[in-house]
Structure 1
Amino acid sequence: MMRNWLPFLFVLLFCKSLTAQTVSIDKEKLLEYYQSQRYAEAAQYLQSIYPSDTQDIKALGQMAYCNMMSGKLPDAEKNYLQINTLQPNSLPVLFSLTNINTRRGNNAKARSYLAQIISIDSTNFNAYKQLAGLTDSSGLKLAYLKKANVLNATDADVAYDLATAYRNDKQYEPAYNVLKIAIAADTGNFILQQTLLPMANQLGKYKEVIAVGEKLLQNDADANVMKDVGKAYFFLKNYQKCLSLYKVLEDAGTVNEAIVYYMTLSYRELKNYEMALVYAKKTIDEGISTNTTAYYGTLAGIYEEKKQFANALTAYKRGLTFSSSNSIYYRMGLLYDLSLKQAKNALTYYNLYLKGKPDPEKDKEQIVYVKARIEALTNPKEAVTK
């Protein structure tokens, strides 16, 4: 019985081979598509030449590439999966599948392909580098970056990301060392040099910060560089130079609490006590968030919900020490009026609320209510009669 099938099987295989051999590709036409980056047309052309069930890996690879370059990611994935079935464990194919899934936001699937790559090649730098960018776990990210950095210590992207991760973990010396190696390999990389400055400051390498920072400032007057260089000048007791840099930041409106604090200390060291007082006050102002009053108002509201009225009053009053707030005046009026039954105090805060000139349209209902309560508390007998 099997012998009867053999001639038929031979003919079938021969025809299939013949078909494969008769596929004719216009190479000049395909090259023109590639050179003009008309990848969608190139993919259509290849699909018109090869049958849909082709197992020609070279043809599938061409179609996959063209589909990926033209943004037809589902078609590209289908092609690469076909290749992966026919020829498993191909690193270029697995990387392409990773790329497709990363572009589509399917990070879990992308990570699974990268894990396959590492199982095949445990020293693959690019796989670890990409895994670091696809994980939400800070611990895993650090582990992948460290592995990638061991494999290629001069890669600027990995060095930057690893140094940043170390810095976030307050590991300043490892961060500094990673950057120094990468900078030695690319002395013109200003991004790495700028990233180095805060690490060097933390390690007390102030002269290096100034040397590197001043060169960077010749290229671009970056605020972060000025901040780091100014700090280095301060610790080297060059207070005038520190102030000159920080004055530039102040004029540009980019100061923060730390900067005005160092300006305060610099003026004090220069015995300019009048200016030291001015900047000491500015330091206090910078240290207070514009939302601090609102935060205390929220805290007080929670105390009210828990019927802890004394704590609520303390929180409200604490909030008012940072800035006046009509909302808090209103809430305190209600608290004294309705919960604590202290009419005199309620009137005080109701009146403060009205003096704060609430919005006549937005706060119309509150204004009407407060005026009614003031009338009722001022003339309780008349309110009862009415």
Structure 2
Amino acid sequence: MKKIAFSLFILPLFSFAAFAQSAAADKNKVMDFFQNQQFDEAVSYLTPAIAADAKNIQLLGYLGYAHYMNDNTREAENVYRQIVLIDPDNIAALQYLALITKNDSPNEALQYTRRLILLQPAKAVYYRSMGELFKRKDVQDSAFVYFSKAYSLAPKDYKNGVGLADVLLDRKEYTRADSVTEAGLEQDSVNLSFLKLRIRSAYNADDFQSLRIPGEQIIRMGESPLTALTQVLIGYYNLKLYSDCIRVCEYLNDKGYMVDNVIYYEAKAWAKLKDYDKSNALLRVCVNLSISKSAEMYYYNLALNYESLKQYAKAINQYDTAYYLFKNPVMNYNCGRIAEAHLHNIQQAQKYYLRYIAEAKPTEADEVKAYAYVKERWGKKKTTAAKK
């Protein structure tokens, strides 16, 4: 359910009708329902009142709001459509309809927003909404026109600057985008949206030096936007500032971002610092992260198929790969079994069986039985070999 402060949200949007008493409903009772977040109760209370006065815009506005706040957007939309049929210029109803339809019916949202612009042509928020809708539709030229208008009307509203800079970056107009973001950062140096846009611009323009200030500001703030900070660490790597690259990687790791691209660049940076052991350890982590756990089953079934085709060497290769990636000791057992039973390669069988014995902790009945066999037969060979 939407929990929005009563005094900040309800009153402005119900300015389209005076808070006069209705013969069918008590305004104070409705306000109490809203104040206490009792939207179901508000709907139950308003429904019979509206049945008696179906064209009462004030009551319909209350009902639409109650449905909207109760996450019943379909009913809210129906109610606001009724209001617009009665009063086509009703600002609040048009605002809600534009908001409700923007995701599922963007073309409808465009029509409602155009109507709002005609009714209130000096409102920057409507032009920004149009820009957002056109951007979603990937109509970049129109998005640029509307974001530009919104910014010209209200340049100090950071949302207008963010929208315009974003479109300018899409158009590869980096200098113009930077002027907008820098103006925004002059007003608010810790605005995360502008900081991310500044990083994106510098990264796309291969201006890696310019990544440093906004990147370090984000880290000081304790924020961790993955895309932006990944661009920062790549920038440090390209600037040959390998220790800084590692520091940003570790910062993201501490924030819970154990992703292969971050760890990969950390590994590359350690290699540049000639710490190859650390680099290799991180590269192994990358391998494990980049391969899904379900891949073990794929390798296992590939091996079964090769066994059925009597292509035993290929079957062993698949089991061996599965073990290397996922460390399941049963894969060593399968390799030993094929080497013993089909290839009659005792030395190879022993190698795999001894690995299996060293790591396996069987719990299933079938594996307990197989483990006992391997340990009884091949464990003794290990002891004999050791005595020799």
Distance 1:221 1:48 in 2: 50
CA distances 1:16-75 after superposition (whole Å, capped 9, x unpaired): xxxxxx964788737954884667466666555554462244442343234434556565
Q: Is the 8 A contact 2:55 2:86 kept in 1?
A: yes
In structure 1, runs of 5+ residues without a counterpart are: 1-21, 133-140, 268-272, 379-386
Distance 1:164 1:371 in 2: 65
Query: In the alignment, which residue of structure 1 is the partner of 2:195?
Result: 193
SS at match of 1:143: coil
Query: In the alignment, which residue of structure 1 is the partner of 2:302?
Result: 302
Q: CA deviation at 1:334?
A: 4.0
- From 220, 230, 244, the equivalent of 2:222 is 220
Q: Is the 8 A contact 1:129 1:158 kept in 2?
A: no
Does residue 258 of the first structure (1) align with residue 271 of the second (2)? no
CA distances 1:338-366 after superposition (whole Å, capped 9, x unpaired): 6x3536267426623641342232x3312
Q: Closer, same or farther in 2 for the Cα pair 1:322/1:165, shift >3 Å?
A: farther
Query: In the alignment, which residue of structure 1 is the partner of 2:147?
Result: 152
Q: Closer, same or farther in 2 for the Cα pair 1:78/1:143, shift >3 Å?
A: closer
Two-structure CA RMSD over aligned residues (Å):
5.1
Please tell me the residue identity of whatever aligns with 2:319: Y
Distance 1:299 1:248 in 2: 35
SS at match of 1:356: helix
Q: CA deviation at 1:284?
A: 3.2
SS at match of 1:360: coil
Q: Is the 8 A contact 1:299 1:312 kept in 2?
A: no
Q: Normalising by structure 2, report the TM-score.
A: 0.61
In structure 2, runs of 5+ residues without a counterpart are: 1-20, 118-125, 152-156, 380-388
Q: CA deviation at 1:289?
A: 1.2
Distance 2:160 2:88 in 1: 29
In the TM superposition, what are the counterparts of 1:67-78 in structure 2 within 5 Å?
A: 67-69=67-69, 73=73, 75-78=75-78
Judge which range, 44-53 or 201-210, deviates more.
44-53
Please tell me the residue identity of whatever aligns with 2:315: A
Please tell me the residue identity of whatever aligns with 2:215: G
Q: Is the 8 A contact 2:46 2:63 kept in 1?
A: yes
Please tell me the residue identity of whatever aligns with 2:367: Q
Distance 2:209 2:371 in 1: 63
Distance 2:242 2:72 in 1: 60
Q: CA deviation at 1:279?
A: 3.4
Does residue 211 of the first structure (1) align with residue 210 of the second (2)? no
SS at match of 2:288: coil
Distance 1:142 1:351 in 2: 60
Query: In the alignment, which residue of structure 2 is the partner of 1:316?
Result: 319
Q: Closer, same or farther in 2 for the Cα pair 1:151/1:180, shift >3 Å?
A: same
Does residue 126 of the first structure (1) align with residue 133 of the second (2)? no
Distance 1:322 1:69 in 2: 50
Query: In the alignment, which residue of structure 2 is the partner of 1:368?
Result: 369
Does residue 356 of the first structure (1) align with residue 358 of the second (2)? yes
Distance 1:221 1:97 in 2: 35
Q: Closer, same or farther in 2 for the Cα pair 1:179/1:27, shift >3 Å?
A: farther
Distance 2:237 2:100 in 1: 50
Q: Is the 8 A contact 2:24 2:52 kept in 1?
A: no
Please tell me the residue identity of whatever aligns with 2:284: D
Query: In the alignment, which residue of structure 2 is the partner of 1:63?
Result: 63
Identity %: 15
Please tell me the residue identity of whatever aligns with 2:109: L
SS at match of 2:304: helix
Please tell me the residue identity of whatever aligns with 1:256: I
Query: In the alignment, which residue of structure 1 is the partner of 2:5?
Result: none
Distance 2:250 2:71 in 1: 50
Q: Is the 8 A contact 1:61 1:80 kept in 2?
A: yes
Query: In the alignment, which residue of structure 1 is the partner of 2:109?
Result: 114
Size of the aligned set, in residue pairs, is: 331
Q: Is the 8 A contact 2:203 2:235 kept in 1?
A: yes
Judge which range, 223-232 or 209-218, deviates more.
223-232
Does residue 330 of the first structure (1) align with residue 333 of the second (2)? yes
Does residue 284 of the first structure (1) align with residue 275 of the second (2)? no
Q: Is the 8 A contact 1:145 1:158 kept in 2?
A: no
Distance 2:314 2:164 in 1: 46
SS at match of 2:138: helix
Q: CA deviation at 1:282?
A: 3.3
Q: Is the 8 A contact 2:353 2:374 kept in 1?
A: no
Q: Which of these two proteins has the greater Rg computed from alpha carbons?
A: 1
CA distances 1:317-341 after superposition (whole Å, capped 9, x unpaired): 3455557541311232344456x35
Q: CA deviation at 1:258?
A: 0.6
CA distances 1:272-312 after superposition (whole Å, capped 9, x unpaired): x5xx3333333433432168596366235225325254433
Q: Is the 8 A contact 2:233 2:244 kept in 1?
A: yes
Q: CA deviation at 1:314?
A: 2.9
